[in-house]
Amino acid sequence: MNWHEIKFSEKFLKTVVLISGGIGALNITDGVISKSKNNFLIRNLDKFTNVNVVVVDFFPECPSIDQRLSSSIKFKFDEILTQICYKYKNIILIGNSAGTVSVLASNFDKPTILIAPVFVNSERTKNENKCLIVHNTNDICEKSNFKYFQKFVDELQCSHSQLDIKLFTSTVTNNLECQAISPHGFWGIDDEVMREINKFINDI
């Protein structure tokens, strides 16, 4: 597991830390991402405005959702975040799909964006910062099906005191319920979703 700086400028006062879904493996070599290019966060890297951009690469651990909650993976992830926080100020943690599991399991009290969150039961650190939840009403992925969304929000309110929710609807129809090219991945409405994400980041 490691982290990589994708975009940096001394004029930017904020830094987004992106944690992608699936097994989180981006296989980054010399700054080039070779895996998970369709992931919502990865395909929209260039649409984050006025911020430094850092990504976390879970290769070679490649954890499943359950493994993201293991003590060894959580320890390594928190080590990575410690390194990032040492270099950058004003961090915003952004998780997508299975990446939201890692974000919520971390011990860092930072502003947070959860995109197509995966609903799992886990202990969550109290977070007094703002949290934006972005979801698609047509998401039917087993682990993030919209029909369970309100229950997830109600549970999250116990640990996060400042929740903001943005709901979107896209109508891509295929048999890839949990893949990037589907409502779960906001396929076809990237610009609309990124506008709200950038607005949230700018307003923090």
Distance CA 197, CA 111 (A): 12
pLDDT tens profile 161-179: 789 999 999 877 666 788 8
Write a three-state SS string for 143-177.
CCCHHHHHHHHHHHCCCEEEEEEEEECCCCCCCCC
Q: Which string of DSSP letters, residue by residue, matches the chain? A: -EEEEEE--TT---EEEEE-STT----EETTEE-S-TTSHHHHTGGG--SSEEEEEE-TTT---TTGGGSHHHHHHHHHHHHHHHHH-SSEEEEEETTHHHHHHHSS----EEEES----------EEEEEEEEEETT---TTT-GGGHHHHHHHHTTTEEEEEEEEE-----SS-TTSSSSGGGTTT-HHHHHHHHHHHHHH-
* DSSP β-bridge partners for residue 162: 130
Q: How confident is the model at residue 123 (pLDDT cuts 50, 70, 90)?
A: low
**pLDDT average, residue stretch 182-203:** 95
Look at residue 191 in the predicted model and tell me its pLDDT: 97
pLDDT tens profile 124-139: 667 788 999 999 999 9
Q: Which CATH number fits domain 2-203: 3.40.50.300, 1.10.3720.10, 3.40.50.1820, 3.40.50.2300?
A: 3.40.50.1820
Checking if the pLDDT of 41 tops 90, the result is yes
Look at residue 124 in the predicted model and tell me its pLDDT: 67
**Residue holding tokens 């080590």?**
79
In percent, how much of the chain has pLDDT > 90? 64
pLDDT tens profile 89-113: 899 999 999 999 999 988 888 999 9
Checking if the pLDDT of 122 tops 70, the result is no
**Residue holding tokens 């290769």?**
59
Look at residue 171 in the predicted model and tell me its pLDDT: 76
Look at residue 75 in the predicted model and tell me its pLDDT: 94
Residue type at position 170: S
pTM of the entire predicted model? 0.94
Better-predicted residue by pLDDT, 174 or 190: 190
Average pLDDT in the chain:
90
Look at residue 131 in the predicted model and tell me its pLDDT: 93
Q: How confident is the model at residue 30 (pLDDT cuts 50, 70, 90)?
A: confident
**Residue holding tokens 């099906």?**
145
Rg of the chain taking only CA atoms, in angstroms: 15
The CA angle 71-75-79, to the nearest 5 degrees, is 175
The CA angle 53-76-142, to the nearest 5 degrees, is 75
